[in-house]
Structure 1
């Protein structure tokens, strides 16, 4: 009976059959075909294993199957124009190039849910010094499988296990093969365009480009997109801004008389909560609050806390959040606006606006000044001072740092030295970094249990968030003792998600669900936005909004008119505010409906709906998508064309002169010292030169020689 089953051939037998086939006719052609199949196979497998492209229906699945093939044929066919062993090495080289591009995108997508762009690659010098630790945490051993075939092919050629085709193929055959690749690309594009019209002109989501056209085609599309951005400044003209300002004027909303100007003349603390998501507020692990200090602040009667507030960043992540927070301009569709345009563009930024109204403006960041091109961009924004790594002696000590700069407790304590010297009123932005991917911190600073999802990336997130919360609590205590708390308005915001949607099983466990839907992932894009003032009427505000709305909302509270400003956000406190939240990739959220990952949901109950089944949705979706596309396009035009340089009609703001600012440490310290005499309104000056630093208490073990686990003073009471 068992004789009916043939013996399974060994790998050696299979290889011998393949080799005989390749040897008997056109060895180079077979080697070319083998490489095309290998490139297609590993790309197609990674489409499904490591990317969330959302292919639905037979057409999209077919395109996902087809789209790795055209460029594989085009690139690898170059080998057919050579003869002898050179042609084999050329084929292997082009296999390697495509594999490196695939490998790099797998790593990048795993953390950022997006694909690499020319803009991100060109910003490497600005961000690369901190990425090595993050990349080490991202890589899985299976990622290296994309290179296994290349190693095998190299060994086969080196050890002469392949018959080398010395004659090669006819040039006509090589040309026809290349043409075949381009023909298949056109077929792919034709089918894709029929399934999604305006794919290359109206899409802000890179997932669509890869899903429909392919990973290599996306690289070409992105390169063209980046080139167009670079050329747009040369083509820009004043009429472009006139059209946009007319649109912006129609979006201006009336102020809320209950809030307008209630915080006028106060100091402003802008506290940047790195990678901090809204779900952490009131979240507990082992019946302990992850962020007791922030929870207390969130629920304070004088804190306006928005619980439906979304991050809207693109590839620029933190830098995009800063661009929106300071300017009410979106980040770019590709790359970082601060890196590419921050040095030379004209902006109407919050620091510049407040500086021209008598404020001292300062940014604090415990990392190198060049990160995200801040040292140049902040001059364009109008910051008087930028206290970066050079100002912090402790930053030179390795164990005082974590990945992206000084640990938060040390950073905030060391910043107090400069805060107490700032002439009042001042605007101070403090950028925390400890709660940054990969969410690792030394044992001496761990005083909170990790979650137990089994995902190493996710489980440490609550521990670094708890550390950030402790640092925040220490800062607030100091400001109260130093007399700065009551005369200040505090703005806290999370810049972007901390846990990407590529960790869905872990997210489901954190949220207490069996699995997550796209609706759940959309909710996971919420970040905190809180505004606290001593006499501010607070409470939990359910208004829908996003980071683009932070600037006009704050200007309302400070009593600063913005009628002539080019801002794409709106005042969330206005009685006419409707709560439309565009996402950088073209998705959107409204109080009634949302679009996320090409699916539509009822915002209030999370039920998925379709355009065909809901006539109200169909109407709202059309008008909302048109609005979203317009504001994103207009914002891009303002940045890439540097259109604000043409704005000469402003009476309440004049362009910043970048030459007025110098962030060298010696210059900054001299200016602070001189300010104590020329404008003696700082805490230090009002205290007759006596420092308040002895009032700042921290349990940072690096400074005290203790373990945070034995010195955790944070609250763990239930709400």
Structure 2
């Protein structure tokens, strides 16, 4: 009996010592798993893919394996540091997701200095519950020191190496299974990363960042080499076919000799047009001008990590935003076949005007790259009234008008407003706007800010008309991107009395586009599905400009209703494809649609189109084509 009890005691002692000597590993695995799963839940659109458990476990094993190379006390410190790093990455990703509805990438971090002016915007989406991701670090810190003092054993190097290899190989093997399955189901997803949220939902956060880092380094290496000749020919053939304009007869040459004034309005989202709050029109001036313009009410923004700068890039060049980060920073050394460049070739004076600092979004470099004659930034204006990020829209638009009166005609004036930028500091400026029950809410503050900007736009447009400038000008006015981020979608859906789902979310990702012609000609509403990529081709037809390297289509000719989003989602005129949930919806009814061979073909073709645009930017192909390449 004594022998049996002694044996049991040894077993219990063995189990105790095993657990005690590895409690740091056990705690690490449990804590990181809970954090990674919590993150997945936070970015999932109402549905958590349970299969993500497998790749999360694999990534934890890979991280853990490296700790096994250290002696026990150093292992504890290593695991604690990894916990800190993972927690910081998760919270950063969550804040980025709430604001941009995207996942942080290496390229986005490279462009972080361009986001300094909107740090209050991104920082404001921080949530008190984010501290949850750091809570364990404060609890474990004193326990870590006590545990280190108690630990005596140190395993020999050979055992540590064997342990590392076994755990590492198991983790890599599990990941290989996951990546193989993903590559079979969606062949380009891991390389193009066109659908980052969906990818994160199926491979986990740690794996996503490993894949992103690998792709970033791999792309940098590949971009240092030439593209295969056949790939260049394929891109050139696609662009040639896409830019074939033989059938475009509507509005052909209507703008020749006339000034072009393009106004990009900060965060002007489509739902505010002809909408009221508390019995008052939100945008009474734009509502009035809608009736004097050709109004596109299904015009979608397509911005990505470059936000406002992406809207500028597409509107002026008809190329897609960068796969990651901001094209205005990454590709500022490229040659562009821009709207400003094409109009300059027709003896137009070209100028860009914006009330923020010249270096913000690298505009001082990018406007030169796009062949603008002049850029009037912050230092070109009297900063007599600041709201939010810079010069108020009221002062900016008034001063811009005075500058335009002195421009040599014909001219192209590209005007970018600022005051309605989040965090909406135009609230209650120049008279209160009563938003009723939405007072003090995110959407309520936005409605006040856009109401202010609407008043300034109304005065600006009225002055253009009064001063006779409109008689010899065509005006395009549009919003650059969303105002209400995904994190505040519930407020938008409540305001619009809509249900919260992916279809409804996309339905509201529209910005207004108003085209005004002299004497209010062609006023009416165009219901075609169109997008920012289509503005330049449309203006090119109106101004008889050559079309060579555009990915968009003329909105006033043809029957194309293609809208491709940077994350891989798309609209084909009848259906909506939501990339992060891999789901199709009927655009009219909102009902889910099963994938057909036709839809699968469209998905593959549109993914290829995004890749063609990436290749064009990555390899500066416009310069090569103009020099006779391929």
CA gap of 1:168–1:370, structure 2 versus 1, over 3 A, is farther
Deviation at 1:198, TM superposition (A): 4.6
Cα pair 1:570 1:577 within 8 Å, conserved: no
Pair 1:248-2:239 in alignment: yes
Deviation at 1:189, TM superposition (A): 2.6
Distance (Å, rounded) in 1 between the aligned partners of 2:183 and 2:247: 44
Pair 1:528-2:512 in alignment: yes
Deviation at 1:361, TM superposition (A): 0.7
Cα root mean square deviation, aligned: 2.4
CA gap of 1:195–1:578, structure 2 versus 1, over 3 A, is closer
Secondary structure of residue in 1 paired with 2:298:
strand
Counterpart in the other structure of 1:223: 213
Among 278, 281, 284, which residue is 2:270 paired with?
A: 278
Counterpart in the other structure of 1:585: 567
CA deviation map 1:467-501 (0-9, x unaligned): 11011012113223333122211111111111123
CA deviation map 1:663-691 (0-9, x unaligned): xxxxxxxxxxxxxxxxxxxxxxxxxxxxx
CA gap of 1:491–1:127, structure 2 versus 1, over 3 A, is same
Counterpart in the other structure of 2:322: 332
Alignment of 1:180-219 (within 5 A): 180-193=170-183, 196-201=186-191, 204-219=194-209
Distance (Å, rounded) in 2 between the aligned partners of 1:451 and 1:200: 47
Counterpart in the other structure of 1:27: 20
Distance (Å, rounded) in 2 between the aligned partners of 1:453 and 1:73: 48
* Structure 1, 80-89 or 577-586: larger mean CA deviation: 80-89
Secondary structure of residue in 2 paired with 1:460:
helix
Counterpart in the other structure of 1:376: 365
Cα pair 1:497 1:527 within 8 Å, conserved: yes
Pair 1:293-2:285 in alignment: yes
Distance (Å, rounded) in 1 between the aligned partners of 2:337 and 2:344: 12
Pair 1:541-2:526 in alignment: yes
Distance (Å, rounded) in 2 between the aligned partners of 1:148 and 1:384: 54
Distance (Å, rounded) in 1 between the aligned partners of 2:246 and 2:454: 36
Counterpart in the other structure of 2:9: none
* Structure 1, 432-441 or 277-286: larger mean CA deviation: 432-441
Secondary structure of residue in 2 paired with 1:489:
strand
Cα pair 2:334 2:620 within 8 Å, conserved: yes
Deviation at 1:383, TM superposition (A): 0.6
CA deviation map 1:199-255 (0-9, x unaligned): 424651001221111111111222233234434443235764433221122222445
Pair 1:573-2:556 in alignment: yes
Cα pair 2:328 2:363 within 8 Å, conserved: yes
Cα pair 2:439 2:445 within 8 Å, conserved: no
Alignment of 1:30-109 (within 5 A): 30-48=23-41, 50-52=42-44, 55=47, 60-61=49-50, 63-109=51-97
Counterpart in the other structure of 2:331: 341
Deviation at 1:112, TM superposition (A): 1.1
Structure 2: state its 5+ residue gaps: 1-12
Among 377, 382, 397, which residue is 1:412 paired with?
A: 397
Cα pair 2:478 2:513 within 8 Å, conserved: yes
Cα pair 1:591 1:604 within 8 Å, conserved: no
Secondary structure of residue in 2 paired with 1:43:
helix
Pair 1:400-2:393 in alignment: no
Alignment of 1:608-627 (within 5 A): 608-611=592-595, 618-627=596-605
Deviation at 1:557, TM superposition (A): 1.6
CA deviation map 1:121-165 (0-9, x unaligned): 10112222x133113321111011100111111121235587335
Cα pair 2:420 2:446 within 8 Å, conserved: yes
Cα pair 1:270 1:491 within 8 Å, conserved: yes
Distance (Å, rounded) in 1 between the aligned partners of 2:140 and 2:155: 18
Deviation at 1:53, TM superposition (A): 5.3
Structure 1: state its 5+ residue gaps: 1-19, 612-617, 651-719
Secondary structure of residue in 2 paired with 1:601:
strand
Q: Please, what TM-score do these two structures have when normalized by structure 1? A: 0.80
Pair 1:147-2:159 in alignment: no
Distance (Å, rounded) in 1 between the aligned partners of 2:432 and 2:43: 35
Distance (Å, rounded) in 1 between the aligned partners of 2:14 and 2:530: 63
Deviation at 1:454, TM superposition (A): 8.3
Distance (Å, rounded) in 1 between the aligned partners of 2:137 and 2:532: 45
Cα pair 2:585 2:592 within 8 Å, conserved: yes
CA deviation map 1:573-592 (0-9, x unaligned): 11x23211111111111222
Cα pair 2:261 2:475 within 8 Å, conserved: yes
CA deviation map 1:626-656 (0-9, x unaligned): 3212221111111011001112379xxxxxx
Deviation at 1:64, TM superposition (A): 1.9
Distance (Å, rounded) in 1 between the aligned partners of 2:289 and 2:146: 69
CA deviation map 1:298-353 (0-9, x unaligned): 121xx1111111111222221221111111100022111111012x1011001111
Among 98, 105, 110, which residue is 1:122 paired with?
A: 110
Alignment of 1:554-573 (within 5 A): 554-562=539-547, 565-573=548-556
Aligned residues: 608
Counterpart in the other structure of 1:173: 163
Counterpart in the other structure of 2:7: none
Distance (Å, rounded) in 1 between the aligned partners of 2:566 and 2:166: 41
Pair 1:605-2:589 in alignment: yes
Cα pair 2:427 2:448 within 8 Å, conserved: no
CA deviation map 1:79-129 (0-9, x unaligned): 22222532211110011111111110010001111100111110112222x
Distance (Å, rounded) in 2 between the aligned partners of 1:31 and 1:224: 30
Deviation at 1:197, TM superposition (A): 4.9
Pair 1:351-2:336 in alignment: no
Deviation at 1:451, TM superposition (A): 6.1
Distance (Å, rounded) in 2 between the aligned partners of 1:210 and 1:75: 18
Among 335, 346, 364, which residue is 2:353 paired with?
A: 364
Cα pair 2:531 2:563 within 8 Å, conserved: yes
Deviation at 1:176, TM superposition (A): 2.0
Secondary structure of residue in 2 paired with 1:81:
coil
